[in-house]
Amino acid sequence: MDWKAELASIKTGMGDFASRQAATQKGFSALHGASLAEGVLSTKQKELISLAIGIARQCSYCIGLHVQACIAAGATRAEIEETVNVSVLMGGGPSLMYGLKALEAFDQLAA
C-alpha cells in the first residue's frame, strides 16, 4: 500500500466532507484536539493509544493517520512495535495483520 497516496486521498475526502458538513467536522475537530492535547499523558502517548485502537478496530485509514501523528509526536519504530504488541494482546490475530500495516506505514512515512 502506498501510505502517502492513501493519506492524501482520505484527507481530500475529509476536506470535502468538512466543506459540506461543517458543524459536524468542527465538532469532531474540537474533540480531536482536546482529546490529544498534552495533559497527564503526552500527545505521543495518546497517539500511540489511538493507533492501538485503530489497529484493534481494523481501520486502515485510522492506522495511517495515527502513525503519521505518532511520527510527528516523536514516536520511534520500537514504540510502534510495542503498540502493535498491545493491540495483538487485545485483538488477537486480526490485530497482528493490521499491526503489520502500521509498521509498513511507519517505514514509508518516516522515510
What pTM was computed for the model?
0.94
What domains are defined for the chain?
Answer: 3-109 (1.20.1290.10)
Terminal Cα-to-Cα distance of the chain (whole angstroms): 15
Q: What is the pLDDT of residues 54-89, one digit of tens each?
A: 999 999 999 999 999 999 999 999 999 999 999 999
**pLDDT tens digit sequence for 25-47:** 999 999 999 999 999 999 999 99
Label residues 69-88 b or e (16+ Cβ within 10 Å = b). bbbebebeeebbeebbebbb
